[in-house]
Chain A
C-alpha cells in the first residue's frame, strides 16, 4: 500500500519532468514572432523571415548551438487593420506579450523609440558588414532618429509623376520628347508650371474630361509633401537640431500649385479628395487622366488588376517636377523597416538580429520587391537577375537616388495634420493660398511652439 501511495505522489512530478526531459533531449525550440502589414502580394515581408530561419538553423547547427528557430507570423492586409494592430503592438510590448520583430513604417521609429518599445538596431547588428554595407546610403538617414539607427530597411519605393503617353503625343510630344521628359524633369527644365499647362492642353483637346488633366492621389497621404519638397527651401527637418521646419515660401508654392490646378487651370476636380481608390486606379490605368502622381507599387495594380498590358508604351514616369527656380525635382520614398521589439530578450534578441540580417540578403529581399513591385534596398540586388530582368524595378530604382523621406519626429503627426488642413482649405476655395499659409503658421506657432522652426 505504501508503495502505491509513493507512486501516486511521484506521478505529478514524473509528468512534470517528462516534457523537460524531452526538451533536453532535443534542440531547444525558439519561436520568433513577426508582425507585418501585408496584402497577399506583400507576403514575403514575413514569409522571407521564415525562409531566413531555415538558413539560420543550418548556421546554428554548424556552430553547434542547440537552438531550433521557428517563425510565427501575423500579417494584416489593409491599412485599417494595420493601424489597429500598430496600437495593439504598443500595448502588447508594454505588457510583455508583443512580437519579437515588427515591420513598421520608418515614421514609427521615433514614436516607438521614444516609448522604449524597440531596440536601436545598430547596437545589435553590424551595419558595416554584409549585406548592410551595400544598402543604398540614402536609406540610412531614414532609419535614424535621435542619433541612432533603429531599424533596417525592409523595402523601398518612390512616388513618381506619371503621364499618359498617347495624350502627351496628342498635344505635340514626339516619341523622343516623351523619352527625354524624365531627364528634363530631373534637370529642372520641366516644372510644375509645365505640368499645369500640359494638363490644360490635354483637357482642352477633349482627350480627358474636365478635372482629369492633373489627377492627384485620391486621399490624404504623405505624397502631398512632395509638392512642398520640390519648392525652393522645401526642407522639413533641421538636421542639426532635429526640429521640424516649416518654410513659408515653400508652403505658399505648394498651396499655390493646387490652387492654380483647381481654380486657374481647372485641371483638377474641386471635390477630388476622398474619392474611391478602386475608381481612381481604374481611371488612371485606362487613360482617363492626363498627368498624375502615384507610387511605384501602382505598377503591380495597373498591370495585374487593371489590365494595362503595355505599361511602358502608354505610361511615362519621372520625378515630381521642380516647383520652379530654386526648387528641385524629387520623389517621396516611404520605406518599411524591420524593427526588433523589447519583447526580444537575451538569446531571442541575438536570433532576431541574425534573422533580420539574413532576410536582408539581396536574393531574399528581391522576392518581396518583385512580388509586390516595390524597390530593393541594396546595390547588389540590382544585379540579382530576377530583379534586373524586371524592367519596372530596374528602371524605377533609379528614382530612389533623388528621393526624400518624411522626417522622423515625434511631432510629425501634429505638423502634418495642420499643413494638410491648409491644403484642403485652399483646395475647396475657402482660403486663398496666402491666407492658408498665414492660418497654418499662426496655428502651428500656437499649438507646437518651439518644436517647429518657422521660417
Chain B
C-alpha cells in the first residue's frame, strides 16, 4: 500500500502492548551493566563487574567459553543435519514422484503433534541399540531427528512456492533432476533455508534435557546447563550476573537474527501455502 504516514494512536497502542517485551529486554541489558539496586528497579551505577564471567570462571561453574564452544558445536551440528535432511526430504515430498508420498507427508505432520520429551526412555533404548548412547553424536542425531518433522514440513512449503516451470526449463536445458535441485531450485529457497537454520539453531542452542539424560557422562557442558546452574545456585545471589550471562546467551541468536531478519519473516510463509 505504499509508504504510510505515522498513525500516532496506532503506534502508541502498539508501544503499550509491546511494553512488556521492550521493558524486559531493555532491563536485561541495563541490569547487566549496572549495580543492582535492591530498593528500586532503577540501576545505581555503571559497572562491568557482571561480565566478569567472561574473563574468570565463576567458582563451581566452569568456564563460560568452554560451554559456549560446546553449545556452538552442538547447535551447529543440529543445524547442519536438520537443514541437509529437510532440504532433501522436503524437495522429494514437494516435487518428486514416488510411492506413498502423500502418506509420508501426512505422517510428518502427525509426528509434529507428539510431545517429544516423553520419548526419552525409548530414545535411550534406540541409542543403545545403535551404539550411540552416552555420546554427543547420539544426542545431536536425536535432537536433529526431533526437529526434522518441523523442518521437512517447512521446507516442503518453500519448495511448493518455486514455479514448476523453472524446473521444467532446467530439464529442457539438459540438467539432471539433481542438477535442477542443486543449481536452480535450492538458490530460490535460500530464505527458507536461512529461516530453518535459525530455528533449528535456536532449538540446539537452548537444549537442556537431552544431553543430561542421554549423554550423562559427557563432559561437554552446555550453556543452558551453565546458566541453569548459576540461577539455581542458592549461594550466588548475583542477579546482575544472571542477567549478564543471560544476555550473553541471547546475543548470538539476536545477531544471527539481525542478519537474516527479512528472510526470517518468511519462516511460516512457506508452510501456509495450501
Q: Residues of A at under 8 Å CB distance from B?
A: 33, 35, 38-41, 43, 74-81, 84-85, 87-89, 91-92, 95, 97-99, 277-278, 300-301, 304-306
Q: When the two chains form the complex, which single residue of B208, B216, B235 contacts A301, counting CB atoms closer than 8 Å?
A: B235
- Sample (23) of A-B pairs whose CB atoms are under 8 Å apart: A38-B60, A39-B234, A40-B61, A40-B236, A74-B217, A74-B219, A76-B229, A80-B232, A81-B225, A81-B228, A84-B213, A85-B216, A88-B214, A89-B216, A91-B214, A92-B134, A92-B217, A98-B216, A99-B217, A301-B234, A304-B235, A305-B234, A305-B235
Q: When the two chains form the complex, which single residue of A33, A43, A78, A88 contacts B229, counting CB atoms closer than 8 Å?
A: A78
Could you tell me if B216 and A77 are in contact, using CB atoms closer than 8 angstroms? no
Q: In this assembly, does B133 line the interface, its C-beta being within 8 Å of a C-beta of chain A?
A: yes
Could you tell me if B213 and A87 are in contact, using CB atoms closer than 8 angstroms? yes
Complex Cα–Cα for A38 and B59 (A): 12
Tell me whether A84 and B209 are in contact in the complex, defined as CB-CB below 8 angstroms, given that A33-B217, A40-B59, A77-B60 are known contacts: yes
Q: Which residues of A contact B120 (CB under 8 A)?
A: 87
Tell me whether A95 and B225 are in contact in the complex, defined as CB-CB below 8 angstroms, given that A39-B234, A74-B217, A78-B231 are known contacts: no
Specify the chain B residue showing the minimal Cβ separation from A278: B237
B 84-133 contacts with A by CB, 8 A: 120-121, 124, 128, 133
Q: In this assembly, does B186 line the interface, its C-beta being within 8 Å of a C-beta of chain A?
A: no
Complex Cα–Cα for A137 and B219 (A): 38
Q: In this assembly, does B212 line the interface, its C-beta being within 8 Å of a C-beta of chain A?
A: yes
Tell me whether A41 and B235 are in contact in the complex, defined as CB-CB below 8 angstroms, given that A84-B209, A88-B216, A95-B133 are known contacts: yes
Complex Cα–Cα for A186 and B196 (A): 64
Q: Which residues of A contact B262 (CB under 8 A)?
A: none
Q: Which residues of A contact B230 (CB under 8 A)?
A: 77
Specify the chain A residue showing the minimal Cβ separation from B134: A97
B 219-259 contacts with A by CB, 8 A: 219, 225, 228-237
Q: Which residues of B contact A39 (CB under 8 A)?
A: 60, 232-235
Specify the chain A residue showing the minimal Cβ separation from B229: A77
Tell me whether A40 and B232 are in contact in the complex, defined as CB-CB below 8 angstroms, given that A74-B217, A92-B216 are known contacts: no
Tell me whether A40 and B217 are in contact in the complex, defined as CB-CB below 8 angstroms, given that A81-B229, A87-B120 are known contacts: no
Tell me whether A88 and B213 are in contact in the complex, defined as CB-CB below 8 angstroms, given that A304-B235, A305-B235 are known contacts: yes
Q: Which residues of A contact B121 (CB under 8 A)?
A: 91
15 additional A-B pairs beyond A87-B120, A95-B134, beta carbons within 8 Å, are A39-B60, A40-B233, A75-B60, A77-B230, A78-B232, A81-B232, A85-B213, A85-B216, A88-B212, A88-B216, A91-B121, A91-B133, A97-B217, A300-B235, A306-B237
CB A397 to nearest CB in B, in angstroms, measures 21
Could you tell me if B128 and A95 are in contact, using CB atoms closer than 8 angstroms? yes
CB-defined interface of B165-177 with A at 8 Å, one 1/0 digit per residue?
A: 0000000000000
CB A122 to nearest CB in B, in angstroms, measures 27
Complex Cα–Cα for A396 and B182 (A): 72
Q: When the two chains form the complex, which single residue of B134, B217, B233 contacts A78, counting CB atoms closer than 8 Å?
A: B233
Q: Which residues of A contact B237 (CB under 8 A)?
A: 278, 305-306
Could you tell me if A43 and B60 are in contact, using CB atoms closer than 8 angstroms? yes
Complex Cα–Cα for A38 and B217 (A): 16
Complex Cα–Cα for A305 and B121 (A): 40
CB B249 to nearest CB in A, in angstroms, measures 16
Q: Which residues of B contact A98 (CB under 8 A)?
A: 216-217
Q: Which residues of A contact B229 (CB under 8 A)?
A: 76-78, 81
Q: When the two chains form the complex, which single residue of A38, A84, A306 contacts B212, counting CB atoms closer than 8 Å?
A: A84
CB A164 to nearest CB in B, in angstroms, measures 20
Q: Which of A33, A76, A278 has the most CB of B within 10 A?
A: A76
Q: Which of B134, B208, B233, B235 has the most CB of A within 10 A?
A: B235
Could you tell me if B217 and A77 are in contact, using CB atoms closer than 8 angstroms? no
Q: Which residues of A contact B124 (CB under 8 A)?
A: 91, 95
Q: When the two chains form the complex, which single residue of B61, B208, B219 contacts A77, counting CB atoms closer than 8 Å?
A: B61
Q: Which residues of B contact A43 (CB under 8 A)?
A: 60
Could you tell me if A78 and B228 are in contact, using CB atoms closer than 8 angstroms? yes
Complex Cα–Cα for A306 and B216 (A): 34
Specify the chain B residue showing the minimal Cβ separation from A39: B233
Tell me whether A91 and B233 are in contact in the complex, defined as CB-CB below 8 angstroms, given that A39-B60, A40-B59 are known contacts: no
CB B65 to nearest CB in A, in angstroms, measures 19
Specify the chain B residue showing the minimal Cβ separation from A78: B232
Q: Which residues of B contact A91 (CB under 8 A)?
A: 121, 124, 133, 213-214, 216
Q: Which residues of B contact A41 (CB under 8 A)?
A: 235
Q: Which residues of A contact B59 (CB under 8 A)?
A: 40
CB B64 to nearest CB in A, in angstroms, measures 15
Could you tell me if B217 and A85 are in contact, using CB atoms closer than 8 angstroms? no
Q: Which residues of B contact A38 (CB under 8 A)?
A: 60
